C-alpha cells in the first residue's frame, strides 16, 4: 500500500509554526462545486465510503472520485458506534477478513498521519452458560487455526485481568469462562473518519457533504431505463447498467456507483432496482461520567446483551443488542437504560453510583446470516458494501481496501468473495451470529 506523504501543512514544523504565530489550521478537507461527471461515485461519507475513496486514490491512482453524503463526514454509523475492534469471529471467512482490518488499524496512524488512539487492550467475551462456553471454544479453535491470538480462559484468569468483574459463583448469571482475544481493543472513531477524509482529499478525491442522492440512473435491463426521480422501488427490474446519480445538487454522470451507506442501504439499492435481504434496526449506546481508569479490557456479554469499555478520558461506553423491531427511528428509550443498568450491574456491582451522561442510537442493517453484502450486483456498475449490522466500524479499513480493488480491477478479491449478494440465492451463508458481539 502507498503510504501517504505528509502534506507540509501537517508536518511537525507546521505545528510549531502555528503554535508560535497563532495561524489557524487549514481545512482538513475542502468543499467543491459538483462536477458533471466522475469515474466513481461513492454514496456515504462514513468510514467505509471514505476508506474506499482513499484506497482507490492511494492504491490504484483513481482520483476522479466523489464521495456524497446527505449529512456530514462520519455522521452516521461511523460516529455512533462504540469503537471496538477485534478479529475473533466464528467463520474462517470472517476471521481472515476482520484480521486484515486489524492490520490496517495497526498501521493507520502512520499511514494516514493522524493520531487514531488505537488501544490494543484485549477483548473478553464472557460465557455464562455451557452453550456459550461451547461457542467460545469453537471460536478459539477457528481463530487459532488462522493464527489469531484467542483462547478460552477461566474465572480466575478473568478476575486477574479485569478485577472489577464479579466472577463469584453466587451471581444470578455466574461467569463460567471467556474468550480472551488480546489483539482486540478500541480506537478513536472520529479520528479514523477524519484521517481517511483528509487523506482522500489530499489525493484529489472530492467529498460532498449535504448532498443527498435521490435516484440512481440505470439504462437497459429487465426494468428498462430507470432513474426517473421516483427514488426507486420494487417496480424497477434487475439488470441494466448504471449511468449516473441524481442528487439534491444536480445530476452526475458516472459508470460506477458504490453504495457504502448504513441504515439506508436497502433504500439506496432499491433506487438501482436491487433488492437486499436487509432489515434495519436501531442499536442504542450510552456513556457515563468520567472516572479514574479501572477497566483495562473490553468486556462483552452476549447472554446479558451488553458490552463495555473505558475511554482514555475515563468514561464507560456501553452498548447493547439491536432493538428487537425494525425502524429508522433513532430515539433512545428508558427501557434500554433500565435493562442496560441492570445487566451491567450484574457484571460490575461496584459501579452502581456512576451516572450516565448521555445515550444515543445508530441504525444497523441486519442480514439473515450476520455477515455483510459486498461486491458486484446484478446491475452493472452498481456495487454494494452494506449489511454491516453491529460490526461495521471495525471493518471500515478492509472494506475500503477491498472495494477499491474490486472497482479498480473489475474482479472480486478473494477476501470478500464469500460475502457476495448471490450467496443468499445460492444458500452459501456465512453464519456469524455466534460472534456478532451481542447480536443474539
Binding stretches for ligand PYC (CB under 6 A): 82, 84, 86, 307, 319, 390-391, 436-437
- Classify residue 92 as exposed, middle or buried by CB count within 10 Å of its CB (0-12, 13-18, 19+): middle
Indicate the residue among 274 and 436 with the shorter CB distance to ligand PYC: 436
Nearer to ligand PYC, 391 or 419 (CB): 391
- In this complex, which beta carbon is closest to ligand PYC, that of residue 28 or of residue 104? 104
CA dist., res. 411 & res. 342, Å (int): 49
In the complex, what is the shortest distance from the CB of residue 285 to ligand PYC, in angstroms, rounded to a whole number?
8
CA distance 32 to 28: 13
How far does CA 377 lie from the centroid of its chain? Answer: 21
- Residue 436, judged by CB atoms within 10 A of its CB (0-12, 13-18, 19+), counts as buried
Residue 189 contacts residue 74 (beta carbons within 8 Å): yes
Q: What is the dihedral of CA 361, 362, 365, 371, to 10 degrees?
A: -100
- Compute the least distance from the CB of residue 360 to ligand PYC, in Å: 13
In this structure, what are the phi and psi dihedrals at residue 241, rounded to the nearest 5 degrees? Answer: -140, 135
Q: Is the CB of 307 or the CB of 382 nearer to ligand PYC?
A: 307
Q: Which residue is nearest to ligand PYC (CB)?
A: 437
- C-beta separation of 340 from 55 below 8 A: no
For the bound state, the minimum distance from the C-beta of residue 184 to ligand PYC, rounded and expressed in Å, comes to 8
* Burial call 139-168: b when 16+ CB within 10 Å, e when fewer: bbebbeeeebebbbbebebbeebbebbbbe
Question: What is the spatial distance between Cα 167 and Cα 158, in angstroms, rounded to a whole number?
Answer: 8
Residue 172 CB, shortest distance to ligand PYC, in Å, is 23
In whole angstroms, the minimum distance from the beta carbon of 419 to ligand PYC comes to: 16
Q: How far is the CB of 148 from ligand PYC (least distance, A)?
A: 14
Q: Which is nearer to ligand PYC, 177 or 184 (CB)?
A: 184
Contact 308, 344 (CB under 8 A): yes
> In angstroms, what is the minimal distance from the CB of 436 to ligand PYC?
6
| For ligand PYC, the closer CB: 406 or 438 | 438
CB of 86 to ligand PYC, least distance (A): 6
Q: Which is nearer to ligand PYC, 4 or 436 (CB)?
A: 436
DSSP string for residues in 262-331 = SSSHHHHHHHTT-----EEEEEEEEEE--------SEEEETTTTEEEEE-TTS-EEEEEEEPSS--S---
Nearer to ligand PYC, 87 or 377 (CB): 87
Nearer to ligand PYC by Cβ, of 82 and 211: the residue is 82
Q: Minimum distance between the CB of residue 300 and ligand PYC, rounded to whole angstroms?
A: 7
User: For the chain, how far is it from start to end, CA to CA, in angstroms?
Assistant: 37
> Alpha-carbon distance 362 to 141, whole Å?
32
Amino acid at each position: 500500500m502507498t503510504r501517504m506523504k505528509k502534506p507540509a501543512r501537517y508536518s511537525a514544523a507546521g505545528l510549531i509554526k502555528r503554535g508560535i504565530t497563532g495561524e489557524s489550521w487549514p481545512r482538513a478537507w475542502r468543499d467543491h462545486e459538483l462536477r458533471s461527471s466522475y469515474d466513481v461515485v461513492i454514496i456515504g461519507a462514513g468510514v467505509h465510503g471514505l476508506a474506499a475513496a482513499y484506497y482507490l486514490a492511494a492504491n490504484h491512482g483513481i482520483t476522479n472520485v466523489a464521495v456524497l453524503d446527505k449529512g456530514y463526514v462520519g455522521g452516521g454509523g461511523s460516529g455512533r458506534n462504540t469503537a471496538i475492534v477485534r478479529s475473533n469471529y466464528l467463520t474462517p471467512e470472517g476471521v481472515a477478513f476482520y484480521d486484515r482490518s486489524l492490520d490496517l488499524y495497526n498501521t493507520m496512524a502512520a499511514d494516514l498521519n493522524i493520531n487514531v488512539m488505537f488501544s490494543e487492550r484485549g477483548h473478553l467475551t464472557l460465557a455464562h452458560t455451557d452453550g456459550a462456553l461451547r461457542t467460545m471454544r469453537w471460536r478459539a479453535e477457528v481463530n487459532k487455526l488462522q493464527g489469531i491470538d484467542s483462547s478460552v480462559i477461566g474465572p480466575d484468569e478473568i478476575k486477574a485481568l479485569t478485577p472489577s468483574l464479579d466472577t463469584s459463583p453466587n451471581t444470578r448469571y455466574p461467569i463460567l469462562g471467556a474468550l480472551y482475544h488480546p489483539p482486540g481493543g478500541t480506537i478513536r472513531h472520529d479520528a479514523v473518519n477524519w484521517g481517511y477524509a483528509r487523506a482522500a482529499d489530499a489525493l484529489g478525491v472530492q467529498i460532498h457533504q449535504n448532498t443527498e442522492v435521490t435516484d440512481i440512473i440505470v439504462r437497459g435491463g429487465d426494468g428498462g431505463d430507470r432513474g426517473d426521480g421516483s427514488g426507486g422501488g420494487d417496480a424497477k427490474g434487475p439488470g441494466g447498467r448504471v449511468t449516473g446519480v441524481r442528487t439534491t445538487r444536480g445530476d452526475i454522470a458516472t459508470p460506477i456507483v458504490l453504495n457504502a451507506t448504513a441504515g439506508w442501504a436497502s433504500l439506496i439499492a432499491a433506487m438501482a432496482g436491487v433488492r437486499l435481504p436487509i432489515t434495519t434496526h436501531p442499536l442504542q449506546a450510552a456513556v457515563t461520567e468520567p472516572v479514574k481508569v479501572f477497566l483495562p479490557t473490553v468486556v462483552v456479554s452476549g447472554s446479558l446483551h451488553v458490552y463495555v469499555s473505558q475511554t482514555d478520558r475515563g468514561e464507560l461506553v456501553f452498548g447493547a443488542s439491536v432493538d428487537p423491531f425494525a425502524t429508522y427511528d433513532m430515539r433512545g428509550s428508558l427501557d434500554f437504560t433500565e435493562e442496560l443498568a441492570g445487566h451491567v450491574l450484574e457484571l460490575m456491582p461496584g459501579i452502581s453510583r456512576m451516572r450516565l451522561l448521555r445515550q444515543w442510537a445508530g441504525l444497523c442493517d441486519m442480514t439473515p446470516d450476520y455477515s455483510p453484502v459486498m461486491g458486484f450486483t446484478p446491475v452493472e456498475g452498481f456495487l454494494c458494501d452494506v449489511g454491516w449490522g453491529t460490526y461495521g466500524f471495525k471493518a471500515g479499513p478492509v472494506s475500503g481496501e477491498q472495494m477499491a480493488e474490486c472497482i479498480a480491477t473489475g474482479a472480486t478479491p478473494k477476501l470478500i468473495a464469500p460475502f457476495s449478494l448471490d450467496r443468499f440465492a445460492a444458500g452459501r451463508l456465512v453464519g456469524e451470529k455466534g460472534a456478532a458481539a451481542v447480536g443474539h
